[in-house]
Amino acid sequence: MVTFPPVPLEVKPIAHLLKLAENHDETNIVVAYWARKRLPACYKISARQEVSETADLLRKLLDWLEETKVTYGDNDAILTEPAAQIIIEESNSEDFYNVAMLIDVLEQFGQLTIEMKEKRRYAKWKAMYIHNCLKAGDKPLPGPPRGIHDTPTAIVHNSSLTPEELATYTKYTGNIPSKH
């Protein structure tokens, strides 16, 4: 496994792609390759060339991409975007945050479908909901809030929901908490 330089502060907003790639190094080289390939495109290289930390990371990423392309040159999903897109779309994850990041990687292949945009939006919302529930000491409820077609506009804690709203969560088998 290759060790990359630390991610400089100026590019931290896209560091999640490097983490996604690292998480897939051993299990899915196609996801790891295309997640890392997305990083240099995000950097706007010419605007950041003067920052040596970013340039070091970028050089290491580009070297890794070239080495991987040579090593896995017989893998269509490394060489062609359509094959890669299929594999990335089929990369199932139980982790909503990873699902959202995988969809971010798919953007490099072109315009996302409305279905994929909605899936990403829901995955990001659900990841944030779970994170906030755990942070607040609440038990996250499975399924979407209210109806699946409702648009969540804010993260709501379980204690803020009415019993009727709690009942709309799918597969919820626990006791309905009383409102404070």
Q: With a threshold of 0.75, does the pTM exceed it?
A: no
Residue 14 has what pLDDT?
76
Please state the CATH superfamily assignment of the domain spanning residues 1-91 in this structure: Vacuolar protein sorting-associated protein vta1 (1.25.40.270)
Reported as a single tens digit per residue, the pLDDT across 22-81 is 889 999 999 999 998 877 665 554 455 556 777 788 888 889 999 999 999 999 999 999
Exposed/middle/buried for 152, CB within 10 Å: 0-12, 13-18, 19+? middle
List, as one string, the DSSP characters of 63-122.
HHHHHHHHHTTT-HHHH-HHHHHHHHHH---S-HHHHHHHHHHHGGGSPPPHHHHHHHHH
Reported as a single tens digit per residue, the pLDDT across 111-169 is 999 988 988 888 888 888 888 888 888 888 887 765 544 554 444 555 666 666 655 55
Domain boundaries, the chain: 1-91, 92-180
Q: Model confidence at 171, in pLDDT bands (50, 70, 90)?
A: very low
Q: Model confidence at 176, in pLDDT bands (50, 70, 90)?
A: very low
Reported as a single tens digit per residue, the pLDDT across 11-23 is 777 788 888 888 8
